[in-house]
Amino acid sequence: MTAYAVAHLRDVEFGPDIVAYLEGIDATLAPFAGRFLIHGGAQIVLEGDWQGDLIVIAFPDLERARAWYDSPTYRRILGLRRGRAEGEVLLVEGVPNGHRATDILG
């Protein structure tokens, strides 16, 4: 089942650390078949008060998403982002093709 790394980042301080993080992250994704689906981009807020950027990275499954986040190559650059941005990050499993909203009921 496809899984996603989702980040809601705010107050990103663009500078050398963020540039180094951005330059290094693609190489950390490749061994785990990760790929960006959303990386910032234009937004139209329809409800609530949204501040910041949304990042979504797809992986073939939750195990590879977790292995990427825990990998030594990603851990080496993680501090570059953590020190220059606030926000939440999570890994979440997707749903199968044909999923309907009522499937969660039972």
Cα separations (Å) of 102 from 2, 44, 92, 93?
A: 20, 27, 19, 17
* Predicted model pTM: 0.93
pLDDT band with cut points at 50, 70 and 90 for residue 106: confident
Q: Please check the confidence at residue 64 and state whether its pLDDT lies above 90.
A: yes
Domain 3-96 class in CATH: alpha beta
- For residue 42, the SS3 value is coil
